[in-house]
Structure 1
Amino acid sequence: MKYLVVGGGAMGSVIAAYMARAGKDVTLLTRGKHLETIRANGALEVHYAPDDKTDQVPVAVASEEEYDEKPDVVIIATKAYSLESIYPLLDRISTPETVILPLMNALTIGNEIADAMTQPATVAQGVAYVACELVAPGRCKHKEAFFRIVLGARPGGPAIELAPAIRQDLEDMGATAEIAEDMLQAALLKFARVSVGSAGMVYFRASNAEILDDPVKFEFSQTLTREIIAVAEAAGCPFPADFDVLAENLKLARSIDPNYKTSLMYDFLAGKPTEWRTMFLEPYRLGRSLGVPMTNYGKVVEVFDPTATSADA
């Protein structure tokens, strides 16, 4: 199958490099210095931090203007706030059989994409668990050993016939890949970690260790997790009974770098655009629509927009 990875940030670059290294037909859509550097070097540098190993991986790259193929699968690895800018591209390159697989920090982004496109396509939904960083143009780092991708039909969307083949290609590149029957549940499971982690860091402007070591900050984060659990239950997709989210989050927090900060936290501290609308406002609004109080999520949302919760007051 022919793949297009849209978004030459950290995750998109790592996915494209790993797929290319596994012999898949893949093109990375990127721009600027990143595009120029990969072309000049003839490869993308990937550093796998757990083994302290660096590879130079030849990767096909193109700008949006240059790309004129019809891929079988489009993996969207942009930030959610950049999504609107790529709709003209998606309409231009898609057919009804093209699978659009967004790997973004959002709960129902697949439906948003399907509604916004003018060209029919098979829009799926996906979530990715990976810690990576774009170190410099042409250089990326895979920081932690885990790399897990969950994909499936978007809520209310059609079945994805190519899902098993996509899963196999993702496994061939070294990721753990799964097909989920309920992608809202899958997204909320990720949010119980990623959204909660970023929310606590942003609200307190604190690192992982500072939250763990302070009882007030720790309980605030635990309550954020409980709110996501309550949303899943209210939405009719409760988390598996044998999966203790609170315990697993604590185990994960204690296992990673004490100074770890999420990419959203780094962007927030640097004054850059963030995904706060999909990471915090979207679960807040979903919870409130289902009758969940969402008190702590509301406090986090108000860091970005003090008026965003006024309708629920």
Structure 2
Amino acid sequence: MDILVMGAGALGGYFGGRLAAAGHDVTFVARGAQLEALQQNGLKIQSPSGDLHLPKVKAVSDPKQGAHADIVLFLVKNFDVETAAQTLLPNLKSDSVIVTLQNGVSASRRLGEIVGHDRVVPGIAFIPADVKAPGIVRHNAELQRLLFGQGSKVNAGQINQLATALEDVGVEVMISDNVQIMLWTKFVFLSAISAMTTLTRLDVGPLRKTPETAALLRQAMDETEAVGKVMCPDLPQGTAEAQWQFMLSLPDTVHASMLDDLRRGKPLELNYLSGDVSRIGHEQGVATPLHDFVTAALQPYVNGAPI
């Protein structure tokens, strides 16, 4: 398959690298130091599932420099979705499939409005990975799982091909006929932990140990579940409780990647996390006071460190 990895960070580097090593034609779209490292030194993956070094990879700054894609792994940040979608259009075939793996619940809809909804397949990645240094992806545990939707009648075959290719390189793949349930389940957890760890600049340990902040963390989950039940009626009752129990099992040092972005002075995905909970809540008549507050309080940082 011809595969275009749109956003060659930790996830794009890992999945794209494994697929390239298996003989698939993979083009990485990257920028800055990551692009320079990929072009000069190739891609390295450090992983308990086996290290990998690809001395030469196809890495470009603009998707138009790559081939027409059978599959696009769409991994840009939420705030880049619309811009990236426009640059992607010349690379699409009539049957190209785009798998979205953004945080939150709105990226697939926003992308579909530009490239066509039938092309877009929402997905969720479960993999602890980061960019250790430009061109070096560090996979921190054996977990490597992707869940995505079945796709439309037009592209179901492409999705099955992708699933097979990923399974062949050791990735656990799940194809769901109701991926929205999984998206909202993850969002109940993610929106809450992003809100509270970024707002307080604390890991979950101190938040859980302090009754006042623990109550706010749980409130954030409850608000997202209430919005999710309106948008995804099949979302199981008690999703917030289940995610709360999951959060209680995490190490004290866990925090959201949005906190890392804030500390580094980078733009935040705030408006697609708490911001989407707040926006959808207002549209649907569901009260979301905590997410409203977090969205407003962190707004000065949304484009990076305030000047």
Structure 1 and Structure 2 fold alike (TM over 0.5): yes
Instruction: Give CA-to-partner distance per residue, 1:246-301, whole Å, 9 cap, x none.
Output: 24443354333x22222211111222101111111112211232222112111211
Unaligned runs of 5+ in 1: 307-313
The match for 2:79 is 81
Q: 1:57–1:158: structure 2 CA closer, same or farther, 3 Å change rule?
A: same
Q: Is the CA contact 2:27–2:66 (under 8 Å) kept in the aligned structure 1?
A: no
The match for 1:112 is 110
Q: Is the CA contact 2:184–2:228 (under 8 Å) kept in the aligned structure 1?
A: yes
Question: 253, 259, 262: which is aligned to 1:265?
Answer: 259
Q: Please give the TM-score of this superposition, normalised by the length of structure 1.
A: 0.84
Matched, 1:44 2:43: yes
Give the letter for the 1:291 counterpart: G
Q: 1:95–1:23: structure 2 CA closer, same or farther, 3 Å change rule?
A: closer
Q: Secondary structure at the match of 1:187?
A: helix
Shift of 1:131: 2.4
Q: 1:304–1:159: structure 2 CA closer, same or farther, 3 Å change rule?
A: farther
Q: 1:194–1:59: structure 2 CA closer, same or farther, 3 Å change rule?
A: farther
Q: Please give the TM-score of this superposition, normalised by the length of structure 2.
A: 0.86
Q: Secondary structure at the match of 1:282?
A: helix
Q: Secondary structure at the match of 2:192?
A: helix
CA–CA distance in structure 2, aligned partners of residues 192 and 62 of structure 1: 35
Question: 123, 126, 139: which is aligned to 2:123?
Answer: 126
Shift of 1:77: 0.8
Q: How many residues align?
A: 298
Q: 1:40–1:168: structure 2 CA closer, same or farther, 3 Å change rule?
A: same
Instruction: Give CA-to-partner distance per residue, 1:230-260, whole Å, 9 cap, x none.
Output: 122222433346x75424443354333x222
The match for 1:291 is 285
Q: Is the CA contact 2:49–2:142 (under 8 Å) kept in the aligned structure 1?
A: no
Instruction: Give CA-to-partner distance per residue, 1:156-211, whole Å, 9 cap, x none.
Output: x7764222222222323333222222333222111122222111101222112111
CA–CA distance in structure 1, aligned partners of residues 23 and 244 of structure 2: 35
Matched, 1:226 2:222: yes
Give the letter for the 2:164 counterpart: Q
CA–CA distance in structure 1, aligned partners of residues 242 and 173 of structure 2: 23
Question: 162, 166, 169: which is aligned to 2:165?
Answer: 169
CA–CA distance in structure 1, aligned partners of residues 124 and 201 of structure 2: 26
RMSD of equivalent CA atoms: 2.6
Q: Is the CA contact 1:7–1:30 (under 8 Å) kept in the aligned structure 2?
A: yes
Give the letter for the 1:122 counterpart: R
Between stretches 122-131 and 59-68, larger displacement belongs to 59-68
The match for 1:310 is none
Q: Is the CA contact 1:127–1:150 (under 8 Å) kept in the aligned structure 2?
A: yes
Shift of 1:116: 2.3
CA–CA distance in structure 2, aligned partners of residues 182 and 52 of structure 1: 30
Unaligned runs of 5+ in 2: 301-307
CA–CA distance in structure 2, aligned partners of residues 168 and 58 of structure 1: 25
Q: Is the CA contact 1:150–1:179 (under 8 Å) kept in the aligned structure 2?
A: yes
Q: Secondary structure at the match of 1:126?
A: strand
- Percent identity of equivalent pairs: 23
CA–CA distance in structure 1, aligned partners of residues 56 and 145 of structure 2: 21
CA–CA distance in structure 2, aligned partners of residues 178 and 129 of structure 1: 11
The match for 2:249 is 254
Give the letter for the 2:250 counterpart: S
Q: Is the CA contact 1:147–1:175 (under 8 Å) kept in the aligned structure 2?
A: yes
CA–CA distance in structure 2, aligned partners of residues 227 and 158 of structure 1: 35
